[in-house]
């Protein structure tokens, strides 16, 4: 029975909305559930050191350089993309366009935020790909989740401007990432309404089953009762899962303030909360933003006292600065590798493999290289799995627009976009990454 007809049939019988997900997943009404697919996009700022970041070789026989060495345990699940370029121009400086166009692929609005060069600019004029995919998944009851997406950050400035936002729900509508782990915890676990609803579903379903039974021939009522038993068993399983999730709620260290020296602790707290959210299927899309474009984190825990952005302006001839920048990018890579490890150690709930097998991690930057402010060779490194994307290799692409990569991400989720962002950069279609 088609999804629309199934909903219409149940609606005509006066079936409660709470019953639809349960009845829709019964064999008599629906097909077996597809594996969950997830997208998590990480952002770190100020470009990379090309010589310590990009692999030399193409194909599967590549070696990670120092900046990407923490991904070594996941080499077969990694895809390093050299030659992806942000070709979007218009208002704003490259830092502003770098983050504002990174996930939108379209120009910034004219505005009054003056950058270090070029013209002032405002917010992006388009939706970001994470929100596009979120909206696509939320339209289908089979992939709809409680939040749809989560936007997390670490020491993202409180000020709202073009350098501090990368996710957009629509033109001129940036999303503020949540940088406080305690606020994230409250969002995920602070309400008991859903659990109370879950406890009452069985009673509602029993009434709905009686409504359906009254409309069926006698010979079909026995089958319906068997399905009712299945629903009761499912309800018990779900209640047990809720209890399991309750016990698995992370214990956050108290009193961690949002300040530079706590970046490592805040990062792990945020990552652990995100893992829990994915396990509970609260969301299937997320963005994770380390500081902001022109980010000035001082990584004293690495023995680096200079601000990140200041270091990124040093010339290539400054070997000490290049070494520190390599350390910084390696540290970001270590955090993402930690997240990947957590996913790889977590069995897929109700499915096969691990969370990492069904999650695509995308790590990106607003610049290719900090001291030149180039928008060419934007660092895009993929990890995990998504249909249509073959992992385990390094690719050198011929300076392709990053719009095509954004389209490929959408296609992997079944969202068959013919263009995304500026259509001028979509003419050759999504990148072929098979």
* pLDDT given for residue 112 in this prediction: 87
3-state class (DSSP) for residue 83: strand
Contact (CB, 8 A) for 103 and 129: yes
What pLDDT tens digit does each residue of the chain (434 aa) get?
A: 444 555 565 555 555 555 544 444 444 444 446 789 999 999 999 999 999 999 999 999 999 999 999 999 999 999 999 999 999 999 999 999 999 999 999 999 999 888 776 789 999 999 999 999 999 999 999 999 999 999 999 999 989 999 999 999 999 999 999 999 999 999 999 864 455 555 555 566 666 666 776 666 766 666 666 666 665 665 665 555 454 454 367 889 999 999 999 999 999 999 999 999 999 999 999 999 999 999 999 999 999 999 999 999 999 999 999 999 999 999 999 999 999 999 999 999 888 899 999 999 999 999 999 999 999 999 999 999 999 999 999 999 999 999 999 999 999 999 999 999 999 999 999 999 98
Chain centroid to Cα 323, Å, comes to 30
What are the backbone angles phi and psi of residue 19, rounded to the nearest 5°? -80, -25
| Alpha carbon distances (Å) from 113 to 3, 159, 164, 237 | 47, 12, 12, 53
Residue-range domain boundaries for the chain: 37-180+258-416
Beta strands in 63-104 (DSSP E): 78-85
* pLDDT given for residue 193 in this prediction: 44
3-state class (DSSP) for residue 45: coil
If one looks up domain 37-180+258-416 in CATH, what number appears? 3.40.720.10
Give the separation between CA 54 and CA 113, rounded to whole angstroms. 33
Contact (CB, 8 A) for 129 and 175: no
Query: Which has the closest alpha carbon to 197: 138, 146, 244, 135?
Result: 146
* pLDDT given for residue 140 in this prediction: 97
Strands 78-85 and 380-384: antiparallel
* pLDDT given for residue 27 in this prediction: 41
Matching residue, tokens 């999650």:
359
* pLDDT given for residue 190 in this prediction: 84
Give the separation between CA 270 and CA 184, rounded to whole angstroms. 8
Q: Which residues contact 244 (CB under 8 A, 6 or more apart)?
A: none
End-to-end Cα, the chain, rounded Å = 33
3-state class (DSSP) for residue 55: coil
In DSSP terms, 53 is beta-bridged to: none
* pLDDT given for residue 269 in this prediction: 97
If one counts every other C-beta atom within 10 angstroms of the C-beta of residue 241, the result is 15
Give the separation between CA 399 and CA 409, rounded to whole angstroms. 18
* pLDDT given for residue 28 in this prediction: 44
């Amino acid at each position: 029975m088609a999804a629309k007809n199934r909903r219409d049939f149940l609606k005509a019988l006066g079936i409660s909305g709470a019953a639809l997900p349960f009845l829709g997943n019964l064999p008599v009404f629906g097909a077996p559930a597809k594996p969950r697919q997830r997208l998590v996009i990480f952002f770190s700022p100020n470009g990379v050191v090309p010589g310590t970041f990009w692999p030399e070789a193409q194909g599967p026989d590549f070696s990670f350089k120092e900046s990407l060495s923490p991904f070594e345990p996941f080499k077969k699940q990694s895809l390093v993309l050299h030659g992806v370029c942000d070709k979007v121009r218009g208002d704003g400086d490259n830092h502003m366009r770098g983050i504002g166009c990174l996930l939108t692929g379209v120009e910034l609005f004219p505005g009054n935020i003056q950058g270090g060069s070029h013209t002032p600019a405002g917010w992006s004029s388009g939706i970001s790909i994470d929100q596009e995919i979120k909206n696509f998944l939320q339209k289908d009851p089979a992939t709809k989740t409680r939040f749809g997406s989560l936007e997390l950050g670490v020491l993202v400035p409180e000020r709202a401007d073009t350098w501090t936002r990368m996710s957009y729900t629509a033109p001129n509508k940036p999303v503020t990432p949540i940088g406080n782990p305690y606020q994230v915890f409250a969002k995920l676990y602070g309400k008991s309404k859903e659990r109370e609803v879950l406890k009452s579903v069985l009673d509602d379903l029993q009434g709905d089953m009686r409504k359906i039974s009254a409309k069926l021939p006698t010979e079909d009522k026995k089958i319906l009762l068997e399905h009712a038993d299945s629903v009761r068993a499912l309800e018990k399983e779900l209640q047990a899962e809720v209890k399991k999730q309750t016990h698995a709620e992370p214990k956050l260290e108290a009193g961690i303030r949002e300040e530079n020296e706590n970046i490592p602790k805040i990062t792990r707290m945020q990552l652990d909360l995100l893992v829990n959210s994915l396990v509970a299927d609260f969301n299937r899309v997320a963005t994770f933003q380390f500081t902001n474009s022109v980010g000035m984190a001082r990584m004293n825990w690495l023995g680096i006292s200079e601000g990140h952005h200041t270091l990124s302006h040093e010339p290539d001839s400054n070997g000490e600065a290049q070494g520190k920048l390599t350390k910084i990018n390696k540290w970001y890579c270590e955090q993402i590798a930690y997240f990947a490890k957590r996913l790889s150690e977590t069995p897929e709930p109700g499915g096969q493999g691990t969370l990492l097998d069904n999650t695509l991690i995308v790590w990106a930057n607003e610049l290719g290289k900090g001291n030149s402010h180039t928008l060419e060779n934007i660092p895009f490194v993929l990890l995990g799995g998504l249909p249509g994307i073959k992992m385990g290799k390094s690719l050198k692409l011929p300076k392709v627009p990053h719009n095509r990569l954004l389209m490929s991400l959408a296609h992997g989720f079944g969202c068959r976009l013919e263009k995304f962002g500026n259509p001028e950069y979509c003419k050759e279609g999504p990148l072929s990454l098979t």
